[in-house]
Structure 1
Amino acid sequence: MIANVEGMPDVLLIGFAPDTIPGFPPGAVAAQLEEGSRRFADLGMAEEQCLIGYGDPDAAATVVEHLKRKPYDAVVVGGGIRKPAEVLELFQTVVNLVHRHQPQAVIAFNSGPTDSADWALKALEQQRA
């Protein structure tokens, strides 16, 4: 595990910006992201968010920019990117970008904004086994 200066695992969370998700109330999604961030802190992990716009043609470039910032121990790809069929191509692109730019990082998938830290921890533990 790489871990940052404080010894905490570094995790990048890739997901949609709450105010760009069609059919979801941005305030509720933002509140869930905040709850998820508290969970990262509770588990002793440093979290950075890469929030991209739903339908943003520059989403891949934004993801690459974040992936190049520093080495991460884990990258969580949010459920919003993984679940709807209409963003399957983006999901595939994101996974391949993570693989290319952060080959040492484990890749985790969440079921919602509040359990990202739990899935990151699970993936990190599996890597150690």
Structure 2
Amino acid sequence: MSPSILTVGLDPALVADAPSSQAAFPDLDVEVVRAGVAAERARLQELGFTVDLCLLDYGRTAEAVYRAALSAKEYDLVVIGAGIRLDPVLTPLLEVLVDATRELAPGAKLCFNVSPTTTVEAVQRWWPERRPVVTGSTPPL
């Protein structure tokens, strides 16, 4: 059976209308996000992963939608997108998602991308096993 991934992020259609997302990511637009998500999903599938996408809104339904997705099947990895993590206004949502993941998918490895085009990189840090944090070079600050 191929390893399964749940990628979770904000619905790209909503990002353009959200002032906090626009402030956090001024150079991204709906099409850039959609294209990045689609390309990374296709690449992960080429690498042998089964990939499900969970798109959230900014409102009260986000937690319920995420919990339903996590409950639908067992995931090996969960990728929480940068759009949720790097927007300070969405920190409470990030906390809810991490807590729900710990509760409903305790065996899943949590991965974090830094843009719509770095999901494969995030997964490869953790699959099939975690890579060393320090690679011998000093990361940029």
Q: TM class by shorter-chain length?
A: 0.7 to 0.9
TM-score normalised by length of structure 1: 0.87
**Is 1:43–1:117's contact at 8 Å kept on the other side of the alignment?**
no
Deviation of the 1:103 alpha carbon: 0.4
Computing the radius of gyration from Cα coordinates, the structure with the larger value is 2
Quote the residue 2:33 is aligned against.
29
- Deviates most, 85-94 or 22-31: 22-31
Contiguous gaps of at least 5 residues in structure 1: 1-6
How many residue pairs align between the two structures?
122
Calculate percent identity across the aligned residue pairs: 26
The code of the aligned residue for 1:19 comes to A
**Is 2:125–2:131's contact at 8 Å kept on the other side of the alignment?**
no
Quote the residue 1:40 is aligned against.
44
In 2, the alpha carbon distance for the partners of 1:76 and 1:66 equals 13
Q: Which runs of 4+ in 1 moved over 4 A?
A: none
2:13 corresponds to 1:19? yes
TM-score normalised by length of structure 2: 0.80
Contiguous gaps of at least 5 residues in structure 2: 23-27, 133-141
Deviation of the 1:65 alpha carbon: 0.4
**Is 2:12–2:34's contact at 8 Å kept on the other side of the alignment?**
yes
In 1, the alpha carbon distance for the partners of 2:111 and 2:50 equals 15
For the aligned residue pairs, the C-alpha RMSD in angstroms reads 1.7
In 1, the alpha carbon distance for the partners of 2:117 and 2:49 equals 14
Q: 3-state SS of the aligned residue for 2:5?
A: strand
